[in-house]
Amino acid sequence: MMGLYKPGQGYWVRVLTAVGVGILVLFGALWGWGQAQAVRLPAKEWTMSTSAGRGDVNIGDTIALLRDSRDGEGFDQLGTGLVTAYRPSASGRADVVIAYFDTNETRDLAADTRRLIVGMDPTNPTFRATVDGTVAEPIFPQLYLQAGVAGGIILIGAILIGWFVASSPKSSDFLIATDSEMKKVHWSTYKQIKGSTIVVIVATFLIAGFLFVIDIGFSTFFKWIDVLQG
C-alpha cells in the first residue's frame, strides 16, 4: 500500500513535478479520447434504408443479405439476419432493422449489402427490397469507449504520479535533494535583473549598428571597384 515517503520534505518540487506530469497525462488522455473515436465497434444491429420494396416482412423473419455478384451478374449472399423492426413510410421507403447475423462478413454489411430478401426461394421471395443506405448500431455507445480509454489513462497516470513523487524512496529522495539544491541557488534581485536586461538591450543595438555600418562600408567599396552592380 502506497504511503507518503518523508512527508513535508521537498514539498514544492514534488508538487510542481506532479503538476507537470499531470498535464502530460491529461494530454495523453485527450489523445486516447481521439484514438478511441476512430475505433469501429462491433454492431449489435443494422438499420437499412430500403426502396422498391415488394411483399411482406415481419419482425422475427430471417432475411438474406445480398451483395453484387463478383462476376457482375446477379447477387451473392453475404449471410442472414433476423428482422427486429420494420418501419415503412408513406413514400414507399422503409427502414429494416436487422440483428443476430449468421455470417462471417458483418463488418462489410454497410458497404456491400445491396438487396434484402425474405423467403426460401430467391427467385420468388415473400419480400425483397433494394438497400440505399446502412447505419450500424454499436454494441454500446462510442462515448463509453472514449470515456473508458481517457479515464483509464488518467487513473494509471495518477497512480504512477503518486508512486513517483510520494511513495518511491528512490525518486522521492531525488526530488527532496533537488529541492535542497534549489534552496542553495543565489537568485538575482530585481535591480540586478533590470540592470542586466538594459545592458543586453543596449549591447544588442550597438552590435547591430556596428554591423550595419560595416555592411554599408563593404557594399560601397565593392561597388567602387565594380565587384557589385549598383
- The 10s digit of each residue's pLDDT in 134-154 is 888 888 999 999 999 999 999
Same domain, 112 and 67: yes
Same domain, 71 and 103: yes
Same domain, 53 and 101: yes
Residue 193 DSSP SS3? helix
- Residues with Cβ within 8 Å of residue 173, at least 6 apart in sequence: 6
State yes or no: pLDDT of 28 exceeds 90.
Answer: yes
Predicted confidence at residue 109, as pLDDT, reads 65
Q: What is the pLDDT of residues 63-120, one digit of tens each?
A: 888 887 777 677 788 888 899 999 988 777 899 999 887 776 555 666 678 888 888 6
Same domain, 52 and 128: yes
Same domain, 67 and 117: yes
Query: Considering the entire predicted model, what is its pTM?
Result: 0.65
Same domain, 112 and 77: yes
Q: Using an 8 Å Cβ cutoff, are 1 and 169 in contact?
A: no
Position 157 in a domain: yes
Position 83 in a domain: yes
Position 4 in a domain: no
Same domain, 83 and 102: yes
Grid coordinates 504511503 are at which residue?
3
In which domain, by residue range, is 205 found? 194-230
Domains held by the chain: number: 3
Residue 190: what residue type? Y
Predicted confidence at residue 1, as pLDDT, reads 46
Buried b (16+ CB within 10 A) or exposed e, 141-179: eeeebbeebbeebbeebeeebeebbbebeebbeebbeeb
Position 6 in a domain: no
Percent of the chain beyond pLDDT 90? Answer: 44
Name the average pLDDT for the chain.
87
Position 215 in a domain: yes
Same domain, 174 and 209: no
Q: What is the pLDDT of residues 155-173, one digit of tens each?
A: 999 999 999 999 999 999 9
Same domain, 60 and 99: yes
Same domain, 133 and 149: no
Out of 31-45, 144-158, 202-216, pick the least confident.
Answer: 31-45
What is the Cα–Cα distance from 76 to 54, expressed in whole angstroms? 20
Same domain, 168 and 211: no
User: Which CATH number fits the domain that encloses residue 77?
Assistant: 2.40.30
Same domain, 54 and 133: yes
Position 189 in a domain: no
Alpha helices in 48-136 (DSSP H): 109-112
